[in-house]
Amino acid sequence: MPAPHSRRPSAKKPLLPTTGAFWSEADLIRRLLHALDIAEQALERLANNGYTDAQEPSFTIQPEKVISETGFFLMAAAAVNHIPVVNTRVQALAHQLAPYARSSRMRLGVCLEPSLALDYAQAHICLNYLGLPDASFDTLLRQSQASQAFGARERPPHRVLEQRWLLHLWDDDAVRPPAPKSALNAPTDLLAGSRDDVYAFTHALMYMAYNNESFPPRLPRSRAVIMAEAEALLARCLAEQDYDLGGEVLLAWPLTGAPWSPAAIFALRVLAQAEDAVGFLPSPATRLQRLSELQGAERSRYLLASAYHTVYVMGLLSAAALRPSALPPAAIPTRRVTAGAAAAILPLVGDNRQEHWRDELRRLSLPEQDTLAGLWLQIGLWRQSQRRDFDAVFKLLQIGNQYGLTSTPMAIQAAEMLERLQLFAHP
């Protein structure tokens, strides 16, 4: 099949909402329901044995991963259970998930690996939250929690935040480990940071947001500074067409209560158009060459295994955007426009006409393009720094400064990089 399929009758996809005050709730509900349909397929086809590619054994999806991520997705989707059709689907999938979440495999993991007990129990804990408790599993988990090795696993800070969130969700009275200094506590390396660094940023934000009882959540630094870094990471994701991470970065807006910025609205449009073009949000894990070699059921399983996570990300984003007061604006505001900024910056961004964001760019009016000039500047700074074209980086900063666009974290880090290079060239 060409894409993970939905069991619902196919319907003509509506055009993206670009009129009216806010993004269409019906459109977001449609996307969320589509992700829930894929979750049903993932449970049916992957939750028992996972997936291993016979030709590329390095591509393996463990069933525990599918089960845990499905539990997290359903827990997040329950935030919009005021929408009856969503609530019905979430509850049905929760009952479908329960046998896998509380299987002998997961129970044995809790028994044999107490340092990973919460990881094995994540889907169970999410089901508790959804109103499907299991007292015997809780008893087993408490026995593991009381063991000497329960907290023995070394974890990066965002994974410690995950453990704190799971303990909080499972038992309000549980003693949680101290909150670590995560990727949100210090500036992000926006030009030389790895993909794992972006992952740490997005997951630290998710677990911190879901772990807070107050909304907006308490953040370790100014929300404005963190959102400026999120916008820079969004530029990187658009440039790389990494919609898995891009969707996670976009969660920063609804999860922190920050107003949707023009760049975030634009990026949401790009992701939505990409999803509608192929039937699911494209994943960097899907190798098109390998996909072309497969047929029938094996092709379907490969595509599902490689893409389900990115589909879940779009579902998480849709659910978060449907929360009260989180609905994105439909239009890109053009109140503060510096005419000519886009035309000056875009030629230096680097030419790649196949990028999805350029398709959406061509749909924009000139005032909208100028409103987004700061985003084009950050895409250009990211791309040219990766190419080691430092002359282009310098020219972009010059133009950005001319239009008042260089007060962002990425522009500052680019300027600092050029200063270091000057010292390197002339010691």
Q: What is the DSSP string of 318-331?
A: HHHHTSTT-PPBSS
pTM of the model: 0.92
**CA geometry: angle at 128 spanning 124 and 134, to 5°?**
70
CA dist 198 and 188 (Å) reads: 8
pLDDT digits (tens, 9 = 90+) for 15-50: 455 456 999 999 999 999 999 999 999 999 999 999
Domain ranges of the chain: 341-425
Give me the mean pLDDT over the 212-235 stretch.
Answer: 90
Q: How many CB atoms lie within 10 A of CB 278?
A: 12
Give me the mean pLDDT over the 374-387 stretch.
Answer: 97
Percent of the chain residues past pLDDT 70, beyond the cut: 94
Q: How many CB atoms lie within 10 A of CB 288?
A: 8
- Categorize the per-residue pLDDT at 9 as very low, low, confident or very high, splitting at 50, 70 and 90: very low
What's the mean pLDDT when you consider all of the chain? 91
Give me the mean pLDDT over the 79-98 stretch.
Answer: 96
- Categorize the per-residue pLDDT at 179 as very low, low, confident or very high, splitting at 50, 70 and 90: confident
pLDDT exceeds cutoff 50 at 6: no
- 152 against 7, higher pLDDT: 152
96 closest CA partner among 52, 138, 41? 41
pLDDT exceeds cutoff 50 at 57: yes
- Categorize the per-residue pLDDT at 353 as very low, low, confident or very high, splitting at 50, 70 and 90: low
Element (H, E) at 61: strand 60-61
- Categorize the per-residue pLDDT at 408 as very low, low, confident or very high, splitting at 50, 70 and 90: very high
103 closest CA partner among 28, 31, 50, 182? 50
- pLDDT for residue 208: 87
- pLDDT for residue 16: 57
- pLDDT for residue 352: 66
Question: Exposure pattern of 154-167 as b/e (b: 16+ CB <10 Å)?
Answer: eebbbbbbbbbbbb
- pLDDT for residue 384: 96
- pLDDT for residue 282: 83
Give me the mean pLDDT over the 307-331 stretch.
Answer: 95
Locate 132 and state its tokens.
């499907």
Give me the mean pLDDT over the 222-249 stretch.
Answer: 96
- Categorize the per-residue pLDDT at 289 as very low, low, confident or very high, splitting at 50, 70 and 90: confident
pLDDT digits (tens, 9 = 90+) for 242-288: 999 999 999 999 999 999 999 999 999 999 999 999 888 888 888 87
